[in-house]
Amino acid sequence: MNGDDPASRQGNGRRQRHALRQHWWAWAAMALVVGVVLVASIDTSPSRGVSEQRRYALSVQLKCLQCVGESVAASQAPLAVQFREEIDSQMRQGRTDDEILAFFAQRYGQEVLLTPPSSGLGALVWVVPVVVVAAGVLGLAGVFARWRREAGARASEEDRTLVAGELARRHQDRDPEPAGPRDPDG
- Is 70 exceeded by the pLDDT of residue 155? yes
Mean predicted confidence (pLDDT) in 37-62:
75
Instruction: Give the closest residue to 90 by CA, choosing from 102, 73, 79, 80.
Output: 102
pLDDT of 6 over the 60 cut: no
**Mean residue pLDDT across the chain:** 79
Within the chain, residue ranges assigned H as helices are: 6-40, 52-59, 78-92, 97-108, 123-151, 157-174
pLDDT of res. 1: 46
> What's the predicted TM-score (pTM) here?
0.45
**CB 60, CB 114: distance < 8 Å:** yes
94 φ/ψ sector (left φ>0, alpha ψ -120 to 50, else beta):
left
